[in-house]
Structure 1
Amino acid sequence: MPEPVRRPGLDAEGYLVREGSLAHVPPAFRAVVAAARDRLPAVFGARLHSAYLYGSIPRGTARVGRSDLDLLIALREEPADADRAAVHALGEALDEEFPQIDGVGTLLYSRARLLSDLERYDLAWFVACLCTPLLGDDLAAHLPRYRPDSLLARETNGDLARWLPRWRERIAGTEDTEEARRPLVRFMSRHLVRTGFTLVMPRWQGWTSDLREMAEAFGAYYPERAAQLRTAAEYGYEPVGDPVVLRSYVDDLGPWLADEYTRVHGTKAPRPD
């Protein structure tokens, strides 16, 4: 009998392993990571519980001048508008100072929110498995181990149907230029590919953050939609500004994927925001 396929991203017991490490940060990005680590305490002081990297930089796959710096910050209390403004200002300063990054994206939550029951299989999983500790006490110590099962699939991406009306509004409100549409294509492409991957993740039994690998995994189970997701994966890396692409996302691929996700995994529990 052939041995079962051993998928990436899992340990010997079938649990998801944390991706990323400070040791994997490419040399070109170490200075900006160090600057973020050094400046965050000055922004939040004692209210800062912990901070994390995520995305291509701690995975070691970042591209100079193309990749952004992704941060998640946990505060000891609920963030206020002033906190969001402060972290936005920090991101703009880092982006201007370090040409090797193309923007800074920061997620800002309270420690209580990240450890809440509601977020146990969404934000908490994200911290435990996709975030690399940068500062403070690691919240992963308070979290369970995770398997690539249907519950995780539902609570991570089972809300696409609720996003689609907002996407249509964003498309309608975007300036009618290639340059203005390109970031929107990149964002929606990545969201759809990740949703397609988590749709099949419990059957595929593994984890990857590579968009192309995600699309290939999806295509093995939905060959009739495989070409669409492969194209979306490419646009996730090299976006175009084509309005036809955006319309296809909200009128065809997105609605189909939302319906199939609900059929297979159910609907994500609503969040207050």
Structure 2
Amino acid sequence: MTATTTRGLDSHGYIAREGSLELIQREFAPVVAAAQDRLPTAFGPRLSSAYLYGSVPRGTARPGRSDLDLLIALTEEPTDDDRATTDALSATLNREFAQIDGVGVILLSRARVLSDLERHDLGWFVACLCTPLLGEDLAEHLPRYRPDPLLARETNGDLALILPRWRERVTRGDDPRVLDRMMSRHLVRTGFTLVMPRWQGWTSDLTLMAEVFGTYYPERADAMREAARAAYEPVGAPHTLRTYTEDLGPWLAAEYEAVHGVKAPRP
């Protein structure tokens, strides 16, 4: 693994790649091995690449509480059958391995990852936050990344578009703990990338993200710390969800647009 600074950069100031198969804790090795074994059977020669991301390849997963996160890139655009295959595989792994609490999968095409539009979003995600598991490493076709305003804009500059969907899900009565976990994580990451170019570094530690944000926005520091706690221990209290959708979220979206602009529109 490449040596990194305390702020997640290499010696040239680029964001160092997180995670490694060597960091996977003993408890999670069997489920990773099962995924590695079953993905080629599920997708055959259409499987271009498969990656791990999140706490498992970072070595910070908690048995029985962490999920297994996978990114799968196919040689062509995924079909409905591919999505059904992914859902079935996820359900099987989750059922067979008690050490994980769910399986999250991002399924897309190789071409999308390498597209100009996604270069500073999905491309950066694969190159910096994903650990190669199977197939071609698409990072070899992508640039190096610095914690700059362009990366900030293209990763999280769309919060204003996401907020209406969150409100719809709250109104619909979706599981409040699921919403709390999802919204809080998104807000903490967005708050961090808002200040990332000033801090000049990268971390995936949500607690540290909140602390970094708070040094630049002390008036919002407590709210972001609460969101970071909820990201790990969600409760789903109605007043908390309202804070996300009607206070912290709208403020953060407006501030983000003022500082970094709006993310390039996607089809």
Distance in 2 (CA, whole Å) between partners of 1:174 and 1:158 is 27
Residue 224 of structure 1, aligned match among 197, 219, 223: 219
Give the deviation of 1:7 after TM superposition: 4.4
1:85 to 2:94 alignment:
no
Equivalents in 2 of 1:241, 1:250: separation in Å? 13
- For 1:46, the aligned partner's letter is P
Runs of 5+ consecutive residues of structure 2 not aligned to the other structure: none
Which residue pairs with 2:162 in the alignment?
A: 163
Counterpart CA distance in 1 for 2:38 and 2:254 is 44
1:162 shift after superposition: 0.2
Alignment map for 1:248-263 (pairs within 5 Å): 248-263=243-258
Partner of 1:136: 135
SS at match of 1:220: helix
Shift of 1:183: 1.0
Alignment partners' CA distance in 1, 2:106 and 2:188: 21
What percent identity do the matched residue pairs reach?
71
TM-score normalised by the chain length of structure 2:
0.98
Matched residue type, 1:42: T
| Separation (CA, whole Å) in 2 of partners of 1:66 and 1:114 | 29
What is residue 117 of structure 1 aligned with on the other side?
Answer: 116
Aligned to 1:186: 181
Show CA shifts across 1:100-138 (max 9, x none). Answer: 000000000100000000000000000000000000010
- What one-letter code is carried by the residue in structure 2 that aligns with 1:222? Y
Structure 1 residue ranges (4+ consecutive) displaced by more than 4 angstroms after TM superposition: none
Is the Cα–Cα contact under 8 Å of residues 52 and 135 in structure 1 kept in the other structure? yes
Q: Distance in 2 between matches of 1:84 and 1:269?
A: 26
**Which residue matches 1:10?**
9
1:7 and 1:205 in contact (8 A); partners too = no
TM-score (norm 1): 0.95
Superimposed CA distance per residue, residues 235-272 of structure 1 (whole angstroms, 9 cap, x where no aligned partner):
00000120110011000000000000000000000111
The Cα offsets for residues 169-192 of structure 1, whole Å up to 9 and x where unpaired, read as 0111125xxxx2111100000000
1:22-33 aligned at under 5 Å gives the runs 22-33=21-32
Tell me the C-alpha RMSD between the 2 structures: 0.7
| 1:3 corresponds to | none
**Structure 2: how far apart are the matches of 1:121 and 1:140?**
12
Match of 1:20 in 2: 19
Q: Supply the AA of the counterpart residue of 1:148.
A: P
Q: Distance in 2 between matches of 1:135 and 1:270?
A: 31
CA offsets, 1:40-60, max 9 Å, x none? 011100000010000000000
Equivalence for 2:229? 234
